[in-house]
Structure 1
Amino acid sequence: MDVFSYNYDRKQIKSGILHIGVGNFHRAHEEFFTNKLLEYPDQQHWGIHGAMLLPTDEHLYKSLIKQDNEYTLTVCGRNGQDKTYRIGSLVSLDWSLENPENILSAIADKDIRIITLTITEGGYNIEKSTGEFILNDEGVRHDLQNPHTPKTTFGYVAEGLRRRKSAGNGAVTILSCDNLQHNGDTARKSFMSFVKAQDTKLAAWMEENVTFPNSMVDRITPATRPDDVVRLNTKNGTNDEAPVYCEDFIQWVIEDKFIAGRPAWERVGVEFTDDVTAYENMKLSLLNASHTLLSYPSFLAGYRKVDDAMRDERIVRFVRTFMDIDITPYVPTPSNIDLDLYKQTLIERFGNRSVSDQIARLCFDGISKFPIYVMPNLIKMIQDDADLTRVAYLIAAYRHYLKYRTDDKGNSFEIAEPWMTQKDVNLIDSHEPTDFLSLSAFRSTDLMAADAFLKSYLTMVDAIKSNGAMSVLESIL
């Protein structure tokens, strides 16, 4: 397969963006858009300086450094036709365990005018029940007491901005690219809460010199496993230690609130708007909630790839009914979107054979995902006395997944819940199914007080344990 290379001289590119969290999604999304934009001569000051802050980043960091930060991105078409691009927009890269000073200096650099983030939904360190920043987090406590030797994202940004302020290097925008409703507002809450606790003078400077636009991001990007590396390199005729693959759909809608200038991303397909709310609601409530809905039942049924699950008509009917009946009444549609077409496109995207996303990726970190993707609409459904069958089934399936860790076929599996507390573990271990409804993921409402939900949920818990997840799904279809 031909690899389409960028059409610019990397030696002429200057960094104008610092990105924290150089994972697969970022490399398939922001880097993809920016890679195309850098072909415009007047945009070549918007290269990206990557910053990695986690010990687990070591392998990817070393692989990218070995390749001068270049990598291949294979875009998998729903029609079976794939395209592979060589991405050159990541012009420099640092890892905090090796070059912390480089990251701090870059944040302070006057040429860096935007700090972008992909630090995951849980990375903003917000207590789910109160909506407040968690100041007693171990890493946060360290950074509050040791401002010049930070460990967390908040500590790095604060120290970098402190140096920026001291040097008179001007304003900067912090742009979240994570799957959160009003992600800019969440970022502002997190960073300002931290800085106010650490340095009130810096907080006052940030109030005048930092903006936090909201944005909506969308592109399904699976984890790249070792067998994927071999597969992609064989298919593409490359020798890339850090390849990425993703679907052909891509969307980025950004609130146009940049205090220090921005790239002309609109030239390459990014949409700028005064208010991203409708786009956020639509995407989080339909795509992300549907991903969560299909993940646990499908995994319990023995499926491991999303496209395989979407070849099961029972799962397709379940997802489409959820979209049409449970979600559509609560989704104000942006004026330029055909909602029926959007939902049909989602079904096609989920079933994309070339992407073949892992269901385990969708199951990952449900503790952080339920409060964002499922609970807001569930609260409205309870208030409206709506049919709660499908969501009750989902939560019963989630309990079974966490508690028994065995699917309908008898296969055991490990779970990955990085934000699970000891209290959550105790609630999951309890033999009383109602205790599970006090899980931190569900704290935004009292599910025990919703009689219709509770009755349906308890029925589903018993039925899944006795008959298996797919048998119960058939009964509710």
Structure 2
Amino acid sequence: MLNRTTKNITSEYPEKVLQFGTGVLLRGLIDYFIDKANKKGIYNGSVVMVKTTGPDVSEFTNQDNLYTISVRGLENGQAIEEDIIVDCISRTLSTKTHWEEILKTAENPEIQLVVSNTTEVGLQYIEENVLVGCPESFPGKLTAWLHKRFMTNQAETLVVPTELIVNNGGILKEIVYKHVIANNLGNEFSSWLNQKVKFCSSLVDRIVPGKPNQQEADKLFEKIGYKDNLIIKAEVYRLWAIEGENIENFLEFAEADNGVKIAKNIEKYRELKLRLLNAPHTLLCGMAYLSGFRLVKDALNDEMMEKYITILMLTELGPAIPLNLDQKTTHRYGREVMDRFRNPYLEHQWLSITLQYTLKMKSRAIPLLLNYYNTFDSVPQYFARCFAAYLLFMKVTKEENGKFYGESEGESYLINCDSAPYFKAVWERDSTHEVVSNVLKNKDLWGYDLTTLKGFESNVENHLSNMMICGVKDVASALNVYA
């Protein structure tokens, strides 16, 4: 079993980071960066890891807080396989049983960075007394910790939440200040927070599937020569974009890996991820599934689909990102996304990406469609065919026990989308022409009448009709002939 004795690990680093959360994303990304910097001699610090979900931390203490990250994937088209023992966690404490120990870390002036990932639900205000016992909410816990710091050493502190919410730093700051007022913590504390505590928004991006299944784990243990109950898998790509100015001294470990980005504004990274990673996933999931592909990597191994995806991303989606990004930036990011899509080590199901298909189309893809028209005033043909495939995927053929199903090649699939009842009614009532027209003009779905976009309605209808006659893959491949 992995521990410091069996692997003869003697490294010890001063505690410099307080981390709320023990999940695989934090361990596979943030702690990965810190560990890498330690091993390169760029940083000299460890992480106090706080468990917020239960009292038992034995899975960590049994292994002396060591764990392995198995990095698997492609980088610049080359296969990468790395197995890294992370040894930057000094202690794992539970808010249920170690709250006083956690508060005491505020007295250590060397701990100047607080990071968190307590899920999006964690960044909510709950009315509570933050100075009596352990507060229920994460913002309440953080307020109590910051107050303890104010009452002791008043050292400067950087707070960087990683929860997947836009402006997560600003939202967390607002909640903390709300606790300050509600708990009558005083003007002096508020003044100190204003002057000495920085809240920075951040964006994280790395697929960390977590612990491998038993069969895969056994093969890994044989390869690395030891057992590890905390082993996690991670893709090669990694990004932690942190928004702020004059914060580099809190983040010395950032120099160790170009996946850590510190910028005055991180909107560029958010838009690239949303429009060139999330949007293609959403646009392509129905088309790929109805073309017979079940895994993302299988579609990328098909020459026709790879070409289709590349052209969609680089000639239609990239130029439509509303930040006027240069082509070099979008093409470089696009190539990284293609490596991630074709990662042979990940079993990413296209069907799972269709969850809440309509909502994702509205938030991720439709803004690109509108901006494409604002820029080029013409039909994005690859986008139009993806939209046609989306309409066909949403054709309900069966309803059972409140669930809705479509059918492809004689095989039923679940339509896991809140708009499924609407599409069931539309497809049962309307002709193909009416389906396209009624769906496109539905402002409740899109917030916009898409029939007003010149040529889009007729193109979608034409593609949809051809897909129903010839099949989705044949229609997609026909477009590639002229690409």
TM-score past 0.5 threshold:
yes
1:316 counterpart = 2:295 = no
Structure 1 partner of 2:195: 208
Higher relative contact order (CA 8 A, sep 6+): 1
Structure 2 partner of 1:174: 159
1:67 counterpart = 2:63 = yes
Q: Which whole-Å CA distance do the structure 2 matches of 1:366 and 1:256 have between them?
A: 34
**2:69, 2:86 within 8 Å by CA — same for their partners in 1?**
yes
Aligned alpha-carbon RMSD (Å): 4.3
Q: Secondary structure at the match of 2:170?
A: helix
Q: CA deviation at 1:351?
A: 1.0
Q: Which whole-Å CA distance do the structure 2 matches of 1:468 and 1:65 have between them?
A: 55
Relative distance call for 1:194 and 1:8 in structure 2 (3 A) is: same
Structure 2 partner of 1:233: 221
Structure 1 partner of 2:26: 26
Q: Structure 1 residue aligned with 2:236, among 227, 230, 248? A: 248
**2:206, 2:235 within 8 Å by CA — same for their partners in 1?**
yes
Which amino acid is 2:127 matched to?
L
Write the deviation string for residues 109-130 of structure 1: whole angstroms up to 9, x where unpaired. 543211223345x4476xxxxx
Range 455-464 or range 79-88, more displaced: 455-464
Relative distance call for 1:243 and 1:471 in structure 2 (3 A) is: farther
1:76 counterpart = 2:72 = yes
Q: CA deviation at 1:157?
A: 2.0
Which amino acid is 1:447 matched to?
Y
Structure 1 partner of 2:37: 37
Structure 2 partner of 1:9: 10
Q: CA deviation at 1:446?
A: 0.9
Range 80-89 or range 401-410, more displaced: 401-410
Structure 1 partner of 2:178: 197
Relative distance call for 1:26 and 1:475 in structure 2 (3 A) is: farther
Range 294-303 or range 111-120, more displaced: 294-303
Q: CA deviation at 1:389?
A: 1.2
Q: Which whole-Å CA distance do the structure 2 matches of 1:456 and 1:380 have between them?
A: 18
Which amino acid is 1:408 matched to?
S
Structure 1 partner of 2:421: 429
Q: CA deviation at 1:279?
A: 3.7
**2:243, 2:264 within 8 Å by CA — same for their partners in 1?**
yes
Q: Structure 2 residue aligned with 1:187, among 159, 168, 174? A: 168
Which amino acid is 1:13 matched to?
Y
Q: CA deviation at 1:232?
A: 2.7
Relative distance call for 1:300 and 1:222 in structure 2 (3 A) is: farther
Q: Structure 1 residue aligned with 2:296, among 306, 329, 352? A: 306
Structure 2 partner of 1:447: 448
Write the deviation string for residues 133-152 of structure 1: whole angstroms up to 9, x where unpaired. xx7xxxx3xx2144344333
Relative distance call for 1:260 and 1:381 in structure 2 (3 A) is: closer
Structure 2 partner of 1:152: 137
Structure 1 partner of 2:93: 94
Which amino acid is 1:429 matched to?
P
Which amino acid is 2:140 matched to?
G
Q: Which whole-Å CA distance do the structure 2 matches of 1:307 and 1:88 have between them?
A: 32
Q: CA deviation at 1:76?
A: 1.8
Q: Which whole-Å CA distance do the structure 2 matches of 1:367 and 1:90 have between them?
A: 41
Q: Which whole-Å CA distance do the structure 2 matches of 1:312 and 1:212 have between them?
A: 45
Relative distance call for 1:299 and 1:223 in structure 2 (3 A) is: farther
1:329 counterpart = 2:319 = yes
Write the deviation string for residues 181-222 of structure 1: whole angstroms up to 9, x where unpaired. xx5xx1233213323433235665433333233445443333
**1:17, 1:115 within 8 Å by CA — same for their partners in 2?**
yes
Relative distance call for 1:316 and 1:113 in structure 2 (3 A) is: same
**2:404, 2:414 within 8 Å by CA — same for their partners in 1?**
no
Structure 1 partner of 2:337: 346
Q: Secondary structure at the match of 1:29?
A: helix
Q: Which whole-Å CA distance do the structure 1 matches of 2:314 and 2:34 have between them?
A: 35
**1:6, 1:39 within 8 Å by CA — same for their partners in 2?**
no
Relative distance call for 1:224 and 1:471 in structure 2 (3 A) is: farther
Q: Secondary structure at the match of 1:16?
A: strand
Question: What are structure 2's unaligned runs of at least 5 residues?
Answer: 1-5, 397-401, 427-437
Q: CA deviation at 1:413?
A: 5.2
**1:392, 1:456 within 8 Å by CA — same for their partners in 2?**
no
Structure 2 partner of 1:130: none
Give the number of the structure whose alpha-carbon radius of gyration is greater: 2
**1:36, 1:268 within 8 Å by CA — same for their partners in 2?**
yes
Structure 1 partner of 2:435: none
Q: Secondary structure at the match of 1:39?
A: helix
1:404 counterpart = 2:404 = yes
Which amino acid is 1:245 matched to?
K
Relative distance call for 1:50 and 1:414 in structure 2 (3 A) is: farther
1:262 counterpart = 2:250 = yes
Q: Secondary structure at the match of 1:43?
A: coil
**1:232, 1:243 within 8 Å by CA — same for their partners in 2?**
no
Q: Which whole-Å CA distance do the structure 2 matches of 1:406 and 1:280 have between them?
A: 33
Normalised to the residue count of structure 2, the TM-score between the two structures is 0.72
Relative distance call for 1:225 and 1:74 in structure 2 (3 A) is: closer
Q: CA deviation at 1:404?
A: 3.0
1:47 counterpart = 2:46 = yes
Q: CA deviation at 1:354?
A: 3.0
Structure 2 partner of 1:132: none
**2:208, 2:234 within 8 Å by CA — same for their partners in 1?**
yes
Which amino acid is 2:319 matched to?
P
Q: CA deviation at 1:328?
A: 1.8
Q: Secondary structure at the match of 1:144?
A: coil
Which amino acid is 1:206 matched to?
L
**2:113, 2:160 within 8 Å by CA — same for their partners in 1?**
yes
Structure 1 partner of 2:434: none
Q: Which whole-Å CA distance do the structure 2 matches of 1:203 and 1:296 have between them?
A: 51
Q: CA deviation at 1:323?
A: 0.8
Q: CA deviation at 1:48?
A: 1.5
Q: Secondary structure at the match of 2:168?
A: helix
Q: CA deviation at 1:258?
A: 5.7
Q: State the identity as a percent.
A: 18
Q: Which whole-Å CA distance do the structure 1 matches of 2:479 and 2:94 have between them?
A: 49
Write the deviation string for residues 369-409 of structure 1: whole angstroms up to 9, x where unpaired. 66764454344235444525156347547856997355635
Write the deviation string for residues 451-475 of structure 1: whole angstroms up to 9, x where unpaired. 3467777888899899976577557
Q: Secondary structure at the match of 2:245?
A: coil
